[in-house]
Amino acid sequence: MTKQIAVVTGAGAGIGRATVRMLASLGFDIALLGRNEERLADAVAELAEKHVRLLAIPVDVSDAELLRAAAARVESELGPITVWINAAGQAAFGPAISLDAETIQRVTNVTYLGSVYGTQAALECMRRRGTGTIVNLGMSQVLRGLPMQSANVAAHAAITAFCDSLRPEIRRLGDRIDITVVHLPSINTPRLGWSRNRTGHSLKPVGRIYEPEVAANAISHAIFGHHRELWVGAGGVLPSIAAVLAPGLRDRFLARFGFSRQFDKVPLDATSDTLTDSLPGAFAAHGPYEAVPYRDKGRPPLLLTAPLRLGLITGGAILAGLLLRHRR
């Protein structure tokens, strides 16, 4: 079997760091891309005993030309890229009116355009062989529409829309390149602590929180399962049903409870954010929150493919409709 070569952006910390660990355990040779050279070096040192080839490339994913150059270097030093995972992202929290243009642009440039540029760089390499897998990250329905997250939610929604438009283009060309979106719930990473915060409160994840290894496991399933989309957990099913039957009801619920659910009780830390410059320090994959581990009660959390999720939403919507009709 030909050696698999993966590129992971945002590889120095969080989901990217956990994904690198999992792919290394599966025998992938890996190129680690990220802004912080110290964390990339730490990630490489951590994997020294895995007996795989590793290449760390400091790069800002918002620069398309630098990403293309990084892809060319990977192909030259490691070999043909078979998997590309866009896990880099930036976040900003606060009412939309409180976010200046620079903040919104930076979140868009890194989270959305970084994924677009990464996908383009990967396609330029993969199209030479007509095969490969590109994984982008989306948001679970639980997180979509949350107040004070307009820039973050919009960037991930744009990623999903970009992939929807890209798939028929690839199919028309006749290439066997999979474009997958993994929709994630709240993940316990250091991200909240270094995001730009204009809320006036310290922040905490919303809903059920999962360890980053859960996200990495979903990404590996997306790679080997050739899935179009994959959702982690069933927590987004009820919000999806509510969005179909009564979208205004969810708006009212979030207007009343959506703000306080994001505020933590600990004092607000005035530490600088990483929106423009990477913070020093040995951040790894995990954040400070209690979270569902990769193997909860002996088994990994539920992963929903598009057909299964659609079946659950349709069945739930029909059942809810029948119950409402019966009450009348």
Could you state, in chain order, the average pLDDT of each consecutive group of 10 residues for the chain (328 residues)? 88 95 96 95 92 96 97 97 97 96 97 98 96 96 91 97 97 95 94 89 91 95 93 70 72 91 83 74 80 69 66 56 58
Pairing mode, strands 209-210 and 186-187: parallel
Cα(92)–Cα(114) distance, integer angstroms: 16
CATH superfamily of domain region 5-327 = NAD(P)-binding Rossmann-like Domain (3.40.50.720)
The reported pLDDT for the residue numbered 285 is: 85
Give yes or no for a contact between 287 and 192, defined as CB atoms under 8 angstroms apart.
Answer: yes
User: What are the tokens at 120?
Assistant: 């383009």
pTM higher than 0.75? yes
> Would you list the domain boundaries of the chain?
5-327
Spell out the residues 6+ positions from residue 184 whose beta carbon is closer than 8 angstroms to its own. Answer: 15, 137, 138, 139, 140, 210, 215, 218, 232
31 backbone φψ class: left, alpha, beta (φ>0; ψ -120 to 50): beta
The reported pLDDT for the residue numbered 48 is: 87
Tell me the CB-side half-sphere exposure of residue 297, using CA atoms within 13 A.
Answer: 2
